[in-house]
Amino acid sequence: MSVDILHDRRQALPTEAQWWRGAVIYQVYPLSFADTNGDGRGDLPGITDKLDYIASLGVDAIWLSPFYRSPMRDFGYDISDYRDVDPTFGALSDFDALTARAHALGLRVIVDQVYSHTSTEHAWFRESRSNRTNPRADWYVWADPKPDGSPPTNWQSVFKASAWTWDAHRRQYYLSNFQPDQPDLNVRNPDVQEALLDVARFWLDRGVDGFRLDAINFAMHDPLLRDNPPVIGEARRLRPFDFQHHIYNQSHPDIPEFLTRVRQLAEKSGAIFLVAEVGGEQADAEMKLYTRGETHLHSAYGFHYLYADALTPDLIRQCSGRWSGGEGEGWPSWAFSNHDAPRVVSRWSHKRDTSAFASLALLLLMTVRGSVFLYQGEELGLPQAEVPFARLQDPEAIANWPHTLGRDGARTPMPWRAGAANAGFSSAQPWLPVDPAHHALAVDVQEASRSSTLNVCRRIIALRKRFSELRAGSMTIVETSESLLVYKRGEGEKALLCAFNLGDGPVAWSLPAGWRIVEAVNLSTPVAGTLPALSGLVAHRQ
Query: Which stretch of DSSP H or E encloses residue 485?
Result: strand 484-489
CB distance 516 to 539 below 8 Å: yes
- Provide the 3-class DSSP secondary structure of residue 7: helix
Q: Please state, in angstroms and rounded to a whole number, the distance separating the CA atoms of residues 62 and 78.
A: 21
Q: Please state, in angstroms and rounded to a whole number, the distance separating the CA atoms of residues 308 and 293.
A: 29
Query: Which stretch of DSSP H or E encloses residue 62?
Result: strand 61-64
Q: Please state, in angstroms and rounded to a whole number, the distance separating the CA atoms of residues 40 and 36.
A: 9
Handedness of CA 19, 113, 327, 495 (dihedral sign): positive
- Asked if 214 is an active-site residue, the reply is yes
**96, 209, 277, 469: the active-site residue:** 277
**35, 214, 340, 396: the active-site residue:** 214
Q: What share of the chain is helix, strand, coil (3-state, %, to 5)?
A: 30, 20, 50
Q: Please state, in angstroms and rounded to a whole number, the distance separating the CA atoms of residues 122 and 197.
A: 17
Return phi, psi of residue 464, to 5°. Answer: -60, -40
Q: Is 308 exposed, middle or buried (0-12, 13-18, 19+ CB in 10 A)?
A: middle
- Asked if 277 is an active-site residue, the reply is yes
Residue in 455, 439, 424, 410 with CA at minimum distance from that of residue 49:
424
Indicate the residue type of 30. P
Q: Could you list the active site residues?
A: 214, 277
